């Protein structure tokens, strides 16, 4: 299980376009990595759109956004196209990244969890048991507070 202060585990996963991403692709960048249960669920639609609305603000804070679920590349592609999502949605089909982060429940289902990763690739904040309403805004507020310190 990942804790604050731990280094982000390495991974190699494909996004909705079939492009591979790994930890090295995000070196020297802050990262919001959020795990969600499944494409096209009502809560996830709201969360996905909320992060998309906050994307320019987060990019202005030198922060990238990535969504991760067990859905495959085709499902992610359709979902991203339907909601005009421009950030990567990674396909963790075998749930290995979710397992490394420790966010699978006893039934092997993703727990809705968001991690903020520092530019040095260390976990600096964990949002557990995420409630969709206002979550993206809370993440932005947290990251803005980092830049004020």
Do the beta carbons of residue 30 and residue 61 sit within 8 Å? Answer: yes
Domains within the chain, CATH numbers bracketed? 12-148 (3.40.30.10)
pLDDT given at position 40:
85
Angle at 119 (CA atoms; ends 147, 134), nearest 5 degrees: 55
Q: According to the model, what pLDDT value does residue 147 have?
A: 67
Which tens digits make up the pLDDT trace of 61-92? 999 999 999 999 999 999 999 999 999 999 99
Residue 148 pLDDT > 80, yes or no? Answer: no
Dihedral in degrees, nearest 10, Cα atoms 71, 91, 49, 82? -60
Residue spans of alpha helices (H) in 84-134? 96-101
**Distance between CA atoms of residues 70 and 108, nearest Å:** 10
pTM of structure: 0.94
């Amino acid at each position: 299980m990942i804790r604050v202060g731990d280094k982000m585990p390495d991974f190699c996963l494909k996004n909705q376009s079939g492009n591979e991403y790994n930890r090295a692709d995000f070196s020297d960048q802050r990262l919001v990595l959020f795990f969600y249960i499944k494409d096209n669920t009502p809560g996830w639609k709201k969360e996905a759109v909320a992060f998309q609305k906050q994307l320019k603000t987060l990019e202005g804070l030198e922060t990238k956004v990535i969504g991760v679920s067990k859905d495959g590349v085709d499902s992610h592609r359709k979902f991203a196209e339907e909601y005009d999502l421009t950030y990567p949605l990674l396909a963790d089909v075998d749930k290995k990244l979710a397992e490394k982060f420790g966010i699978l429940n006893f039934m092997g289902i993703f727990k809705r969890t968001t991690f903020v990763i520092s530019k040095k690739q260390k976990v600096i904040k964990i949002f557990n048991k995420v409630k969709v309403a206002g979550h993206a805004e809370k993440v932005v507020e947290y990251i803005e507070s980092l830049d004020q310190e």
